[in-house]
Amino acid sequence: MRLRVALVVAAAGGVLVALAPVVGVTDGGHAPAYASWPWMALVGLLAPAVGLLLITRGRPVAARWVLLGPALVALGRLVLDVQVAVEPALAARPELFLLDTLDPVSPSVGLVLSLVGSLLVLLAGLLALSEPTGGDGGARLVDGFGGENRATSGSPGLLALVLCVSVAAAAGVLTRPFESETPYLLPSGALEGAGWERLGLVVVAVAVVLAATFAATSSSGESVLGGLVGAALALAWFEVPVLLAGLLGADLRAGWGPVVALLAAALLAALGLVTGLRAARPSERRPDADTVVLPGSARLRRAAGLAGLAAGVAAVLAATGRQLVVVTGADQPPEYPARLLVPAGLLVVGLSVAMLVPRWSVAVRPAFVVGWTAVPLAVTSALEPVLMTLDYPGVELGAGAWASMASVPLAVLAGVLALVAGAGERDDVDLSERTVNQVLAVPVAMTLLWSVGAFGLPVLTGRDFAAAGLWNDFRVASLGLVVVLIAVVVAAALAPFSRPGQAVGLLLGAAALLALRMLELPLTVARVADGAPGAGLWLAGCCLVSLVVGAVLAARSRRGAATFQGSR
């Protein structure tokens, strides 16, 4: 009954969002760039329609998971709508309205419909995926994380493909969706949009990766089917109206971002269908088909450790060499941002060495999956001033810059190998049932709240200095902030659904990234006149504390579970 209510709520939310441009989002009744409401209604109703179809096919678990992706993307839509509420003239939403004047405008009733619709879609996801149970102090998430329907998921190849495709989709979301030849519509995208718009696009990009990751790491073919198809439908709900605005709107040209995102959505849906449809229904399963052995996780962890060791060493070497060489005989400029490469490289080296020790590799792998992102965080910060000055005569790339650029693909390779290795650990290490650890709810919620400010606000401020950010001054260094923010958010969100040992690793790995973020102040403060701590420093400290507290609580729950098992 709850699932059917959730589908109705999601459908109502999709219809309300589609009605927003009909009613009018601004007080001037400005029409959208094209007749967008039928298309918005169509893509908004896709997820509940597919969910209803899955129910009729006897796949209620898949139907529940279809609503996860739209619910997470609805968070991003809410943030984007805030920009319309704050300053409509700076909101690039041609599917909702297109201004024809430079006079001030105010939001209208249509914006309320859009906000309420997004809230309803979010509520539908919460209704569908929550299944309270009693007696064990926790709530078991439907099928996928509870381990009651293990059949086909957990494939290393599937996890690697989903990771690559979802990251490509996120990149498409963040880039400029259209080109505008009208002075009333400013450029958009994470690089050029207004403040709340940038943040909203980042939230949508994180939501896509998070939804796909949840599905790919699930223990059920049903949840893989629903989760990946739901992520694809959420991308379509977000991107199709914008793409059509670029194709059909006057003085607009479609960009490549929505095309990439929709192609990625098609691939995610195909992966979900191929994987999920292979799974027999629970009532048709043989008793001996409950597990799938995924050999080779030890070799994958060792390979990840070697790649990570190479990445970390390259990062440390990059800090010792010149990022920029001035060949005209002028004085070499100080390279303060490159100093962050040393702690980042040492962090990855330490985790990689532990990954190469068989006795430690399983426990360290979750932290490694998060910690490798320290390399792109430090590299983008170090390369930003280099790329800004390359156009000047007599300036060349130094050996440090080449080592920095080499460390990034090595780190990415290490992270992918560690993720794939984790799929095999479900069978090689622990097949016990997993429940939602409600004890982690508060520290995880605080982490998700503070992490946005920790990476979106500067940790260092000063006279005539503007630090890279997420919604202000989005630059090359901001790309590293986005990568690390995604890693922290995904790690924190997955921790309550992971086994205690894995949760400890995820949270401590994320804590190490926050510590690295805070080190930016003492390592680079000399580059700023009258440098002072920024708001991002204090929020990073709060986020670090919440992650450490969560890790301690997860470790205590692990000891409690071990004591309980020993007494049985």
- Identify the domain boundary among 280, 314, 347: 280
Q: Is the dihedral angle over the CA atoms 434, 440, 441, 447 positive or is it negative?
A: negative
Inform me whether the pLDDT recorded for 139 exceeds 50.
no
* Cβ neighbours for 236, distance < 8 A, ≥ 6 positions apart: 43, 46, 262, 265
Quick one: 400 exposed, middle or buried, by C-beta within 10 A (0-12, 13-18, 19+)?
Answer: buried
* 427 and 441 together in one domain: no
| In-domain check, residue 525 | yes
- 274/298 same-domain check: no
Please state the rounded mean pLDDT for residues 521-536. Answer: 85
Cα separation of the two ends of the chain: 37
Domain assignment present for 285? no
Interval 220-258: pLDDT, tens: 778 888 999 999 999 999 999 988 888 887 777 788 888
The pLDDT of residue 145 is above 60: no
Per the domain annotation, does 259 fall within a domain?
A: yes
**3-class SS at 178?**
strand
> What is the CA 100 to chain-centroid distance, rounded?
35
As a whole number, mean pLDDT of residues 511-533 equals 88
Full residue range of the structural domain in which residue 115 is found = 2-131+144-280
Lowest mean pLDDT among 256-265, 420-429, 523-532: 420-429
In a shared domain, residues 457 and 373: no
Q: How many helices (H) and strands (E) does the chain have?
A: 18, 6
User: What is the structure's pLDDT at 339?
Assistant: 87
Q: Give 480's pLDDT tier (boundaries 50, 70, 90).
A: confident
Across the chain, what does the average pLDDT equal? 81
Between residues 564 and 483, the one the model is more confident about: 483
**Tokens matching residue 460:** 């260092």
Q: Tell me: do 112 and 186 sit in the same domain.
A: yes
Cβ contacts of 474 within 8 Å, gap of 6 or more: 190, 191, 192, 198, 468
Which residues in 435-449 are b (16+ Cβ under 10 Å) and which e? bbbebbeebbebbbe
Rounded to 10 degrees, the C-alpha dihedral 159/163/164/168 comes to: 150
In a domain, 99, yes or no: yes
Give the end of a domain, one of 361, 396, 431.
Answer: 431
Among the candidates 400, 431, 462, a domain finishes at: 431
Compute the distance between CA of residue 383 and CA of residue 457 in angstroms, rounded to an integer: 20
* Average confidence (pLDDT) over 257-263: 88
For the chain, what is the domain count? 3
Within this chain, do residues 70 and 196 fall inside the same structural domain, yes or no?
yes
Report the run of H or E that residue 406 belongs to, with start and end.
helix 399-428
User: Does any domain span residue 136?
Assistant: no
Are 419 and 467 part of one and the same domain?
no
Question: In terms of Cα–Cα distance, which of 166, 135, 313, 149 is closest to 228?
Answer: 166
Q: Are 125 and 204 found together in one domain?
A: yes
pLDDT at 428 over 70: no
Confidence at residue 391, expressed as pLDDT on a 0 to 100 scale: 62
Residue 251 is given by DSSP the state T
| Count of CB atoms situated within 10 Å of the CB of 329 | 6
195 is written with which tokens? 């403040």
Q: Looking at the structure, do residues 364 and 448 belong to the same domain, yes or no?
A: no
List pLDDT tens digits, range 177-212: 887 777 777 666 656 666 788 788 888 888 898 888
Residue 287 forms part of a structural domain: no
382: domain CATH number is 1.20.140
Q: What angle do CA 112, 79, 509 make, to 5 degrees?
A: 150
Instruction: Tell me, yes or no, whether 339 and 420 share the same domain.
Output: yes
**264 and 170 together in one domain:** yes
Same domain, 392 and 472: no
pLDDT the model gives residue 185: 74
Instruction: Name the H helices within 254-371.
Output: 256-278, 297-320, 341-355, 358-371
Q: Please report whether residue 349 resides in a domain.
A: yes
Question: pTM for the whole thing?
Answer: 0.62
Same domain, 229 and 318: no
